[in-house]
């Protein structure tokens, strides 16, 4: 996914993606987010994307 986004960083794809999963060995969840050029943020507890991300991020903080 990141390679595809980086190859098309000047168009036509402007995608911010979330990858959420479950580690089959430990049972722990993981969340990775990616910006429009494919840069990945390490495993985080909270990730938001989209036009309302500033508002949603405020709701998710403890």
Q: What is the pLDDT of residues 22-32, one digit of tens each?
A: 889 999 888 88
Inter-residue contact 49 to 41 (CB < 8 Å): no
Q: How many domains does the chain have?
A: 1
CB 15 within 8 A of CB 38: no
How far apart CA 53 and CA 26 sit, in angstroms, is: 30
Q: Which class for 31: exposed (0-12), middle (13-18), buried (19 or more C-beta within 10 A)?
A: middle
Q: Does position 62 have pLDDT exceeding 60, yes or no?
A: no
Q: Look at residue 21 and give its three-state secondary structure.
A: strand
**Global pTM value:** 0.54
22: containing domain: 2-60
Q: In which band, very low, low, confident or very high, does the pLDDT at 53 lie, cut at 50, 70 and 90? A: confident
């Amino acid at each position: 996914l990141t390679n595809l986004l980086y190859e098309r960083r000047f168009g036509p794809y402007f995608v911010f993606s979330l990858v959420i999963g479950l580690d089959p060995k430990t049972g722990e969840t993981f969340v990775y987010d990616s910006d429009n050029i494919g840069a990945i943020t390490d495993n985080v507890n909270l990730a938001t994307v989209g036009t309302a991300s500033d508002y949603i991020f405020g709701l998710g903080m403890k």
